[in-house]
Structure 1
Amino acid sequence: MTNLIDFLAAFLIGLTGGVHCFGMCGGIVGALTLGLSPLPGHPLWAQLPYLLAYNAGRIASYVTAGVLAGGAGGWMTHLASAHRAQLGLQIFAGLFMILLGLYLAGWWPILSRLEQAGGVLWRRIEPFGRRWLPVRTPAQAFGIGLVWGWLPCGLVYSVLVWAISAGGALNGGLLLLCFGLGTLPMLLAMGAFAAALTGFVRHPAVRSLAGALVILFGVYEISVAVRMG
């Protein structure tokens, strides 16, 4: 079952995964905010309602996916020995997080293949986002954010696997909510400070540290499951 430590870990994974978010979503944020760039007399913070709306839509899609994944995992545990199934799913999620850490650090890009597979679904969803372009209101930005939340992303997929072991739809949704909130600082900052962040998040030491932290979370999840077994 998911506990407070898991929710905190999901938030920290979102936070440390910002190095991946920059690569995956930096171009999207830049394109979406291009038409909102401040003109003389228009302060930079005028972009904030739009950036918040983009990200609110994105996180709403994460939560929806988390609810579905958590509900599916809860249903699967009822088909087998609930305790054993829960522990098995938790170990699987921990292994997936270790793969995610290797991916974030640039040590083994195995999850890029999963992103490529997710591209099949993305090609069907992406055209819906064009209905809200060009963005003129925060409501349109929210709609684009809803579509953006389904962008193929190994980071999101890894947390969704974790949500399957969360114990139910509610916990799965909360796990993805915490993760989404963790990604928020980096993605909000991209809209205003993308140039300044580029060198920092691409530094090998930063990527290695982020990957190592996620690997530790994965090892922790596996160790908890083994002790409970």
Structure 2
Amino acid sequence: MSVSLFPLFVVGLLGSVHCAGMCGGIVGALSLAPPRVRPGSPVIALHAVDATPAARTLAYNAGRIASYAAAGALAGGLAGGAARWSALPLLQGAAYIAANLMLAALGLYLMDLWRGVARIEDGGRRLWQHVAPLLRRVGPPDTGGRMFAAGALWGWLPCAMVYSVLVTAMLSGSAAHGAAVMLAFGLGTLPMMMALGLAGARLRGWLQKRAVRLVCGAIVLGFGLLGLARAAGGLPASWLSALCVAP
């Protein structure tokens, strides 16, 4: 299935209102924590770079986005065998409808109108129980490598928004396409997560306002409904293809 990456980038950008409440505080604490410089360390230059909040926040988010891409590659690769049956028009159409239904459900979730998608997190908590202990082994986030590792592990935190987009990655048909789907989504979250790490609680409070969540959720819902309308044959292809997850 050919996947359009632009709407997935926008979904990540708008879905950041959810990240503000779930991860914003952690990012802010990590990025502003003073680095630890070991006397005589051969990587003093790296520690000095990490002293800037922007560098620390970027390292953390690079790890987080890398974990998204890895999860997308895994999901797309495991479902790669489905490329054979996805060539069948009926099954391909069903997969397209499923991807857009998940987008619509995510929009409702961001608007706090329906939290059914959050149930997906219940299964993810079992995975997180195995990942969480690794955070303690990473050690204090006092280097770029440790910040990257912390972000890479934190990226596996059970998150309904991430899991929703993983459905599209799974339906992409290959590991490379799945990684591209999650990379586009992750890059969409980057601007807001960088701002959250640097601006702190004031920005998080604004993003959690109901009006902001309603607007962002409504746009994500619109992506899903637009795709469903096209699947039903109610809209022409033309320029709308750029706004839909798949043709």
TM-score computed with the length of structure 2 as normaliser: 0.83
8 Å contact kept, 1:86–1:167: no
Q: CA deviation at 1:158?
A: 0.5
Determine if the alignment matches structure 1 residue 19 to structure 2 residue 53: no
CA shift at 1:81, angstroms? 5.2
1:95 equivalent in structure 2: 101
Counterpart residue type for residue 31 of structure 1: A
Which of 61, 73, 77 is the matching residue for 1:67?
73
Q: CA deviation at 1:162?
A: 1.2
Confirm or deny that 1:155 pairs with 2:153. Answer: no
Q: Which amino acid aligns with 2:2?
A: T
Q: Contact between 2:32 and 2:53, CA under 8 Å: does it hold in 1?
A: no
> Aligned to 1:208, what secondary structure does the other structure show?
helix
User: Counterpart of 1:36 in structure 2: which amino acid?
Assistant: P
Does residue 223 of structure 1 match 2:211? no
Q: Which sits farther off after the overlay, 77-86 or 202-211? A: 77-86
Aligned partners of 1:122 and 1:151 also within 8 Å: yes
Alpha-carbon offset, residue 45 of structure 1: 7.9
In the other structure, the counterpart of 1:124 is: 130
2:9 partner amino acid: F
Q: Deviations over 1:65-104 (max 9, x none)?
A: 1112222333124246533322211111111111111110
Determine if contact 1:53/1:141 at 8 Å carries over to the other structure.
yes
Q: Judging changes above 3 Å, is the alpha-carbon distance between structure 1 residues 30 and 102 closer, same or farther for their aligned structure 2 residues?
A: same
Aligned mate of 2:200, from 191, 194, 207 = 194
8 Å Cα contact 1:77-1:86 kept in structure 2: no
In structure 1, distance between residues paired with 2:49 and 2:175 = 41
Letter of the 1:30 counterpart: G
Letter in 1 for 2:112: G
Aligned equivalent of 1:136, options 139, 142, 145: 142
Number of aligned positions between the proteins = 223
Amino acid at match of 1:163: A
SS of aligned partner of 1:139: helix
Query: Which one-letter code corresponds to 1:55 in the other structure?
Result: N
- C-alpha contact (below 8 Å) 1:13/1:214 kept by paired residues: yes
Matched, 1:109 2:109: no
- TM-score of the pair, normalised by structure 1: 0.89
Deviation string 1:110-149 (CA, Å, 9 cap, x unpaired) is 1222112211110111111222221111011111111011
Residue 168 of structure 1 corresponds to 174
Listed as ranges, the gaps of 5+ residues in structure 1 are none
Report the equivalent of 2:2.
2
Q: State the distance in 1 between where 2:206 and 2:80 align.
A: 40
8 Å Cα contact 1:94-1:219 kept in structure 2? yes
Q: Which has the higher helix share?
A: 1
Post-superposition shift, 1:192? 1.4
After TM superposition, the structure 1 stretch with the greater mean CA deviation from structure 2, 155-164 or 84-93, is 84-93
Per-residue CA deviations over 1:16-67 (Å, capped at 9, x if unaligned) read: 0011001110122133234238xxxx99981122111111111111011111
Shift in Å, 1:10: 0.5
Structure 1: how far apart are the matches of 2:203 and 2:87? Answer: 48
The farther-off stretch of 107-116 and 134-143 is: 107-116
SS in 2 for 1:78: helix
The structure whose Rg is larger is 2
Is residue 68–residue 169 contact of structure 1 (8 Å, CA) maintained in 2? Answer: yes
Q: What is the SS of the residue equivalent to 2:115?
A: coil
Q: Aligned-residue CA RMSD in angstroms? A: 2.3
